[in-house]
Every structure is written in structure tokens, then in C-alpha cells.
Structure 1
Amino acid sequence: MRFSPLFALPPAMALTCSPGLYVLVARGTFELPGAGIFGLIPKTLAERTSANITTAPIDYPASLSKPGYTESVKAGGQAVHDAIDEYASACPDGKMAVGAQISMDAICGGAGDGFPPRDALPSEKLDNVVAIALFGDPTHVANTTYDRGTSIKNGIFTRDAKSLAVCNKYSSRIVSYCDTGDVYCDTGDIRPVHANYLNRYTDETVSFILDRFQAASNSSSSAPPTSASSSASVTSATPSSSSLSLSSSAASATLSSGPAPSRSDVPVVSLACANRAAVLYLGSVAAIVAAVLSRC
């Protein structure tokens, strides 16, 4: 397998069209900048296809304080919105996959329930988003056509009807995994469930993304993607001009404890269990909820 990282580039050069699949991923809260734990998805994609896989980490605060939860989510949603918009404009024949809970507000519009309002991206900007993968989404809605996993309950936050209707338009491109007992997507009480999605569903998710990618490639005017060699190519790109580390290790940090989170900023109280809490989730803004509620 060949890895070709691209580090910080001047703004005019920062975006390069991928000849294969451009995968936007968002790290978990308190993980170091880069792809985070969710980087396993593009890595596995590259192992199973000869197409070029470009990993584009979303640059957002991923923080609980300075800025707080609400501002971090707002910034993350805007970053996903801008990354999709910019890539679709610069690479109209390009294909994208998105893996991040914060992506849903960009794709479907703001969820409501106290989060800042946000308009969904125009449909023409989403034409080449071939797949969207979610794990343990706290705005999970049970019994949708894109619902996966064992849960039959909704998440701790509510996605309003207007936003849900937009999500349903793109249901064939979405998989949202939620298992019974997950504290955040299932309002359950079994904390380890939230940390186990990649162990259980990586292969299934990668198969879904590859199927969607191949179908989209076959239906486009260009030929299906091929590689000049038999080895997969993985490129790491930054969608903005800021320098991002490609480390997947969780950041050492002091997290906070307190009551069950709302979508308002959470006051910070020192808690000496950062490393365990920080890895509780998988490239998801929901990690901050895990950090707040973790009893270590």
C-alpha cells in the first residue's frame, strides 16, 4: 500500500481533485488534528479497491471548551458544508464519501433542538456525494430506511421534521449505525456499545461505500476508476490551508464532568481520565458527550 501525505499548502493549491474517491472524515473531540480513529474507513477502502482513496480531514475545533460544545458543532458543520461545496465546485466529476456526525447538518440542514440553524447544501452540490456513514449519531432516528444496527430507539437529540425530510431524499446514500444500549444514539445505559462500531461494522460500511462508488462511477460519463498499479493508493489531503497532523491517536486533554449534556455550552470541571474518554468515539462530535458522561 502506498501512502502519499500532502501537508499544508497555500490556499490556491490546497485542493486537489482525486482521480478516485475523496473521503471527508472528522476526528473525535480531543483527538489530535487529522483523520482520527475514523481514518480506519479510508484505510480499509484502500485495501479493498485499486482506486485512489484521498483522505480529507475536516478542520474544526473538536472541543468541549474554548470554544464550547455548541460553537464546536457549529464550526464543524460549516467546515463540512464548505469542504463539500468547494470540492464539488472545483471537481464537478469527482466522487465524495463523508464520515462524520457533523456532516448531517450540512447535508440535511440543522437538526434543531438547540443547535444553530443551518440550511442544507443545494442538491447539485451533493450530486457527487456517493455515500455518508454515521456511527452512534446522537440525532439518530429509528426506523428510517438508512437506519442500521440493533437499536429501535431515537437518540438523545431530536432532528426536526424539516431536516429529516431532506435526509430522506438522500437515504439511498446514507448508513447510520446505532446499537441497543448506546447512551447517545439509543438513549441506553451500556457505555461500551458506543466505542465498538468500527470493530463491528467497518467491513459492512466499506462494502456499502464501494458499492455506491462503483455505481456512481458506472453511471457517470467517465470510465470506472482504475489504478496504474496493483497496489492501492492512499493520499491524505487537507481541505483548508491549515496544517493538520495525520495522527490517529487521541489527544491528551483534561475533559469535563457534569450533568447530561444539552446543546448549550457545558461548564468545565477538571477530570483526570482524558485518554479513556477521548477514544470513546470514532470520529464523531458525540465524543464530547462521552467525555462529559464518562465515569472512567
Structure 2
Amino acid sequence: MVVVGNVSACLVNAETKEPFKEHRGPDGNVYAEVEPDMEYFIEIAVVGIPNKAFDFGFVVDGKRLSYQQPCELKHGRQHCGIVSVENGTRVNQALCFRQPKRDTQNLDPYSQALVGEIQVDVFDAISVGLQAPSDIQASTIDVAAVDAGIGEDKILRSGQGSIEQVTHHPAMALTYASGQFLQTITIHYCTAMGLIHAGVLPKPDIWTFARMGMKKRPISHDILKIQPKRIKSGGLFVGDSLLEEPKEFDFFDLTHLQDEDDKDNSASDADFHHPVTPPHS
């Protein structure tokens, strides 16, 4: 959570409302450690000052959302996503971390192209009295292509999620307008691998780093059918006296299975080798 003055902001899981783990980078900025396809809200709150309203605006990866969110201490934590209002019905749709496509290989892999950015602009909120709620058209958040010379698993940007919060406004409600601009809170986000490449997290040992970069493979159905054999091993005897009981363990014989890499190579060979069809006479 980033606290500046009397306001705070962080990124939270859209389902659990738990904040994502944050790291302070060498540049002094805050970076949230997240995962692809996780949905989230931007959480805002007012801290330590009662009877004072602030107005919040949001910029997601360079695109400003189409609404401002007023907040006071008594409102507690508010969760903000992609908001639309029509005929008094307010829909708050979660955002989602997505893997963008890559355009070129031109950028330094340690550049800021690795990380996404949420900007929360804070203003004084000025009350304009009771008014009927205005309709708001939802912003369109597209996951644009990103220039970066690394794999997509290290880059994230924001798109639209599927989780929605639906509320109904009263016919008349206390309405605010934005006053003086006060400050901006910026939160960057990326995967753990991306934060390592961006220099925010230290590099782990070579084996852990290699495992983090490996893609998960589906479990073969042949493996699931294998039944273990119970093997007894060890045991320590001195004369006729047993000093240590033998240990039992399950033994899975996988020697008859084809290696997944061999399967991949076979598939690749099939793509490049095919019978030649003789011409028709």
C-alpha cells in the first residue's frame, strides 16, 4: 500500500480483496508482484482525516478512465475498476493482468517496457449538492502490443476482467466535482520474472531462475495410470540384532514412457518431412 499524505492506494485481488505483494525498487518506486490472468481492483482510501473528501482519477497503462471517484474517511476502502452508469445502475468491472504481444526486439530488456503502470491522481473534492447521477460510458481497455526484447511471460499489461460489482444509485445523491490537484500515486506491476529482469528483485540462484522460466507441461495420462511398487530397502543388523528398521517407499517405473522432448521433436520432424506426391501423367 502506498500512503501519501492523507490518502492511500494499492492493487488488490478482485475476488479476495487482498493486496498484492509490493516491492520498493532501486529507483524508489513501488512495484506490485502479480500473475497473468489475475483480476484486480485499484483500492483507494482516506486515512487520518475525517470530514474531508478527496476526488480520485485513474490512468491505466497510459489510458485515463472515464470517471472520478470521491472518497472520505467514513467510506472506508473503495475498490475501483472500469465503471459505467446507466439509468442509475452502476457497474464496476474488474481489470485483469494480461500478457501483451511483442512488436519488435529493439528495446533493452531491462527497460520500463517490462512493467505496467497504474496512476492515481488525487484532487480536492468540492461538493455541488444533491443531483441525479449522470450516465458514464465504460472505458475500453485494450492490451496494446509492447516493444520488448524478451518473452511475453515477463511482461504484463491491463485489460478488462469479468468480475462485476453492480449497485443502484438513489434518484438524488450528494455529488462532487474535482478541485485543486494535490498529488499522484504511481504503482508499477509485473510478474516476479519481469521484476527480476527489470532489476527490482535480486536474481535467485541459477537453478531456481531456470525453473521459474520453464513452461508448465500438462501431465500425461500414461503417467497417471502407473501404479507404484512397494520397495523395502535398508535395515541395519549387528549379528542377529536389528538396530534400524528397513524403510519402505513407492517406486514408479517410468522407463517405458517416451520423453516429452522426444515427442516434440517427432512432431517437428513430421512437419518438415512428408512423402512426395508423384505428378499426374
| TM-score tier (shorter) | under 0.3
Larger RCO (CA under 8 A, 6+ residues apart) = 1
Larger Rg, first or second structure (1 or 2): 2
When normalised by structure 1's length, the TM-score is 0.23
When normalised by structure 2's length, the TM-score is 0.24
Structure in which a larger fraction of residues adopt helix: 1
Structure in which a larger fraction of residues adopt strand: 2
